[in-house]
Amino acid sequence: MADIWGGPLERIDDYRWRIPKSYKSGMRVPGIIYADEKLLKDIRQDRAPEQVANTAFLPGIVNFSLAMPDIHWGYGFCIGGVAATDIKEGGIISPAGVGYDINCGIRLLKTNFQYEEIKDKIRDLVYVLFSDVPSGVGSKGEIRVSEREEREILIKGARWAVEKGYGVREDLECTEEYGALEGADPLAVSGRAYERGKAQQGTLGSGNHFLEIQVIDMVYDREIANEFGLTEGQITLMIHSGSRGFGYQVCDDYTKSMIRCLQKYNIGVPDRQLACAPVDSPEAKAYIGAMRCAANYAWANRQCLMYLTRKVFEKVFGMRWQEMGMYLVYDVCHNIAKFEKYNIRGKEEILCVHRKGATRAFGPGHPALPEKYKKTGQPVIIPGDMGRNSYLLVGTKKAEEETFASTCHGSGRVKSRSAAIRTLDPNRLLRELESKGIVVKASGRGTLVEEAPQAYKDVNEVVGVVHNSGISKKVCRMRPLGVIKG
C-alpha cells in the first residue's frame, strides 16, 4: 500500500522521528513524532504528519511541534499533538490545539473487589449502569441546573459537584488541577453554549466516550502499584467523557471568530483551521476564559458520572461505596491548553502548552502534584479500545525535559468512523467481544462499530513506545469486562 503522506521523516532513535524545518518554508521548528517502525507505517497512511508540520508555523512555538504515537488526523492540529508557545516571544493560543471536546478526559476508580468475587455480577452491573447513567447523542441527565448553578459549575468545576453531595473532598485531591482551572470567565461564553450545557451534567455522551468495568491483569511496577493500592485481579472502573455540547459550542464559537485574528495580527499559517491569537490579546483572553469554563464543566461532569457509578454499585451490592473501596485514583484531561513553567534557553519561562489528544505527565516531585503523588509522579491513565487493554502509567522527569510533560492519551484511530460503519458487522463484533468475556451495551449499533477494536491502533504498541522512550512509565494493565458506550 502506497503511503498517503510521503514527506520526510528522519530517524532520531528507535522511538523518535523528525520532520525537518526545511520540509516547508515557514516552519519555525522541526516536527517530532514518537513512534516505532511498526506504528510509523500506520502513521504514513494518514495526513496527520502534515498537520505536525503546519503547527510548526505558529508564532512563538518552542523547540518542536510534537506528536504522540496515537497521532491521527484532526481539526487543524493532529490528534495526539503537543505544542508550547512562549508568551514573551509573541506566543499564541489556538482553539484547534485544544479541540472541540474541551477537557475530554478520563478517571480511574479502584474497588476492593477481586475478579473471582464479582465475575457473575458483571452482566447485571453493565445493564444497571446502562440504565442509570445517561449516554448517547444529546443525552440529558437527571442533574438539572438553573442558570445561576450553571455559572457556579463554570467557576468551581468538580468542587460544585462535591459541595452538592456528589462526592467527597478527597476526590478533588485526586483530580488534575483539583477539578477546576482558575480564571474561568462565564461572561465569555455564548448563550447557545449555556443552553446546550443546561441538561447535560452527569451524562456520558456518545462517540468514544465510555464507562468500563475492568480487571488488572498485569502489574509492571509493584512498588508504585502498592502506593496506589492496586493488585493483580482487582476490579477497577474507567469513566471517559468531556464537556459535552457546552465545550463543543465554546470551541465552535471561537474557532470561527479567531479566523479574523490571522489578518489582524499578521499571522501566516498554511491552514485556516489553525486560527489563533497572541496570548496577551483580547481575543485570546476571551477564549481562555471560555475554555476554562468548559474545562470546569467537564470536571464537574465526570465527578457526577462517578457519583452515579458509585450509586449503581451500591444498588447492586447493597453496600456503601466506601465499604467497596470505590476511591478515585486520578482524573486527567486530554484536550486543554495550560500555562506551565519550563526551562527554555537556560531560563524558566511560562509557556502556553496545547495538548490535543495528549495527557499531562508530570514526574516525581513536581510542585503541581498533591503530596500523595509527589513520590511516584502523576498517574497517567491511557484507555485502549473495548476489545484489548487499558493502562495506568506515571509521568517522568524525562517527559518534563522532552515533551513539555506530555504523553499519549489512548490508542488512536486507524479507521474513520464512516469507514468502520461501512466495513464492520455489529452482530459479528458483539459475538467476538462476548467470546472474550466482554459484555457491551451501546445506545446504537452505529456507535458500536465506530468504536470497534479494528478501528484503533493496538494500545499495547502505543503504550510500549511512550514507556520505552521514557516519557511515561507503566504501572499496570487492565482488561475490559463490561463496557457502556454512548
Per-residue pLDDT of the chain (486 residues; tens, 9 = 90+): 568 999 999 999 999 999 999 999 999 999 999 999 999 998 999 999 999 999 999 999 999 999 999 999 999 999 999 999 999 999 999 999 999 999 999 999 999 999 999 999 999 999 999 999 987 666 666 677 777 888 999 999 999 999 999 999 999 999 999 999 999 999 999 999 998 988 888 888 887 899 999 999 999 999 999 999 999 999 999 999 999 999 999 999 999 999 999 999 999 999 999 999 999 999 999 999 999 999 999 999 999 999 999 999 999 999 999 999 999 999 999 999 999 999 998 899 999 999 999 999 999 999 999 999 999 999 999 999 999 999 999 999 999 999 999 999 999 888 888 888 888 888 888 889 989 999 999 877 777 888 888 889 999 999 999 999 999 999 999 999 999 987
Predicted model pTM: 0.96
- Neighbour-count burial for 253-287, b at 16+ CB within 10 Å, e otherwise: bbbeebeebbeebebebbeebbbbbbbebebbbbb
How far is 171 from 305, CA to CA, in rounded Å? 13
pLDDT value for 485: 86
334 catalytic, yes or no?
Answer: no
Are the C-beta atoms of 89 and 97 separated by less than 8 Å? no
Residue 23 located in a structural domain: yes
Cell numbers standing for residue 442:
451501546
What is the per-residue burial (b if ≥16 Cβ within 10 Å, else e) of 318-332?
Answer: eeebeebebbbbbbb
395 half-sphere exposure, CB direction, 13 A CA radius: 32
Instruction: Assess contact for 408 and 399: CB atoms under 8 A.
Output: no
Give the other-Cβ count within 10 Å of 115's Cβ.
17
Q: Is residue 3 part of a domain?
A: no
pLDDT at 137: 61
Residue 345: the pLDDT is: 84
Which one-letter amino acid corresponds to residue 419?
A
Q: What is the pLDDT of residue 141?
A: 65
- The CA distances from residue 145 to 148, 188, 242, 290, 310, in Å, are 8, 19, 18, 19, 21
Integer Cα distance of 268 and 259 in angstroms: 11
State how far the alpha carbon of 189 is from the alpha carbons of 93, 185, 198, 250, in Å.
Answer: 17, 7, 13, 7
Residue 83 dihedral angles phi and psi, to the nearest 5°: -145, 135
Between CA 371 and CA 381, with CA 376 as vertex, the angle to 5 degrees is 100
| Structural domain contains residue 5 | no
Whether residue 111 lies inside any domain: the answer is: yes
Position 123 in a domain: yes
Nearest to 53 by CA among 99, 8, 90: 8
CB atoms within 10 A of CB 347: 8
CA distances from residue 433 to 28, 111, 122, 213, 457 in whole angstroms, order as listed:
46, 24, 14, 14, 17
Q: Can you give the residue range of the structural domain that contains 368? A: 10-485
User: Which pLDDT score, from 0 to 100, does residue 30 have?
Assistant: 98
Per-position DSSP letters for 237-256, written without gaps between them: EEEEE--HHHHHHHHHHHHH
Query: Alpha helices of 147-238 — where are they, by DSSP H?
Result: 147-156, 158-163, 169-173, 191-197, 222-228
**12-17 — which CB contacts under 8 Å span 24+ positions?**
14/468, 14/469, 15/465, 15/468, 15/469, 16/469
Q: Compute how many other C-beta atoms are within 10 angstroms of the C-beta atom of residue 235.
A: 27
Residue 138, pLDDT score: 62
Contacts of 283 (CB under 8 A, 6+ apart): 257, 258, 261, 277
- Ramachandran angles phi, psi of 67, nearest 5°: -140, 135
The CATH number covering residue 118 comes to 3.90.1860.10
348 Cβ partners below 8 Å, 6+ apart? 341, 342
- Give the pLDDT score at 205: 85
Chain centroid to CA 98: 10
- What is residue 222's predicted lDDT score, i.e. its pLDDT? 98
H or E element: which one contains 304?
Answer: helix 282-317
Total domains present in the chain: 1
Q: What is the pLDDT of residue 212?
A: 97
Q: Is 2 within a domain?
A: no
DSSP 78: P
Q: Considering the domain boundaries, does residue 4 fall inside one? A: no
Among candidate residues 209, 354, 409, 467, the one labeled active-site is 409
Q: How high is the pLDDT of residue 201? A: 85
Of 463, 459, 450, 386, residue with least CA distance to 422? 450
